[in-house]
Amino acid sequence: MKTIIEPFRIKAVEPIRMTTVEERRELIRKADYNLFSLKSKDVLIDLLTDSGTSAMSTMQWSALMQGDESYAGSPSYYRFEAAVKDLMPFKHVIPTHQGRAAEHILTSIVARGHGEGKIVPNNTHFDTTRANFEDAGIDAQDLVIEEGLDPALEYPFKGNMDLDRLNSLLAAKADCIPMIVITITNNAGGGQPVSMANLRGLRAICDKYQKPLFIDSARFAENAYFIKLREDGYEGISVKEIVREMFSYADGMTMSAKKDAFSNMGGWLALNNDEWAEQARTRLIMTEGFPTYGGLSGRDMECIAIGLKEIVNEDYLQYRIRSIEYINERLDSLGVPVMKPAGGHAIFIDARKMLPHITPLQYPGQSLAVALYIQGGIRAVEIGSFMFGRQADGSERPAPMELLRMAMPRRVYTQAQADYIVECFEELRNNIADVSGMVITREPASLRHFTARLRPVESD
């Protein structure tokens, strides 16, 4: 049979409060046209993020009861550590309350008090990763391949780093580069995967210049499944084996367990360097907690340990990837300009192409997000000039792509809700010329998309 069904049963449900277009128009106005400022009870389908929003399994709920809350030496930590090392065999595993805390600790080690003049390349830095580096004075440079910047192009590994550009950068400025980072899958670039060949090439360049390679790993299992599907020689290899090979090329990793570990909270920093690990644990105690809990409860660590076993289940990954493809294909058939091929955790819309009458610095992705919420109560997030347009020096320039991301929580929404998403776009498409651009009325100095206030251009 060709039909792929959800490889789980629903055991508990959460009611959704239904709203009208008129209600939602007023709700988003009161939220200053920033979808982060909406109350979740006013959202029908919440695709703002797949971070911490997944449904936990019966095994995870059962594991909560094993949670040991000892300050030091909790058995929950050792079960968590063993589960991490089973997939990612790094010497040191340092728990944090979520991935951005791991990024912050790593940045403090790399910057060593000041980061001015330093450069950290990545395929594409996501928002908090970039902000952590830039806050320390480090230049966060994106070196994704050219194919990764064309939303309409069909290419199997659009998340790959441009190895030629990386090699040239290192040849010119190796002394300024303390490490290399690669994000799998490439979230800001449309959830696109990185190939094993690219990881091997990165490892060779890092060895040549004696630079550590770190993997930003939140969606590692989805990346591994894409390798199994798309890369020659891996079709017969298990996802678990592919995961272990991916991490064998790295010197360390940061992880948000709120994504591919099915956890509502948690993350970690893992690495092999003893000196860096000692510094990281010292920083951890200052900011997160003791090294055997690091800002997490024992319950959280138990859930992560089970989630890491469940995420490499290939029946689940087949369903996960196919569910994203299904919505992508339906939208594409309507003429909605989607990112191709479909990514792993989200559906990405090319807002620049869908709203050609809105200039990049009037934020077409944010405009589309607002219109989608009004139309159907769907909350998504902009990844474009609203998120990335403000530069470290205070200037503003258009982002390489203007995307709307609809991130699908794991094991949460049904086929009927997927069809509803498509129907909302079908209705929205008929009135797309009426969507107006946005103007920012107030913004913080960094990470403005979380809390900025906006208004429609037409309200001038």
The residues assigned a catalytic role are 71, 126-127, 216, 218, 259, 449
Label the pairing between strands 213-216 and 180-183: parallel
Burial label for 41, CB within 10 Å (0-12, 13-18, 19+), is exposed
CA 327 to chain CA mean position, Å:
19
* Two tokens, residue 273: 């360097």
Q: Three-state SS for 48?
A: coil
The answer to whether the CB of 261 falls within 8 A of the CB of 222 is no
Closest CA to 447 of 364, 386, 376: 386
Label the pairing between strands 119-122 and 139-142: parallel
Secondary element (H or E) of residue 60? helix 58-63
The answer to whether the CB of 352 falls within 8 A of the CB of 366 is no
Distance CA 153, CA 341 (A): 8
The answer to whether the CB of 268 falls within 8 A of the CB of 295 is no
Helix axes 415-429, 314-333, angle to 10 degrees: 20
Distance between terminal CA atoms of the chain?
56
Q: What region does 227 belong to: left with phi over 0, alpha with psi -120 to 50, or beta?
A: alpha
CA distances from 71 to 68, 278, 343, 364, 411 (A): 9, 19, 40, 48, 32
8-state DSSP, 293: T
Closest CA to 215 of 260, 180, 267: 180
H-helix segments, 273-396:
274-287, 298-310, 314-333, 351-354, 364-376, 385-388
Number of neighbouring beta carbons within 10 Å of residue 117: 11
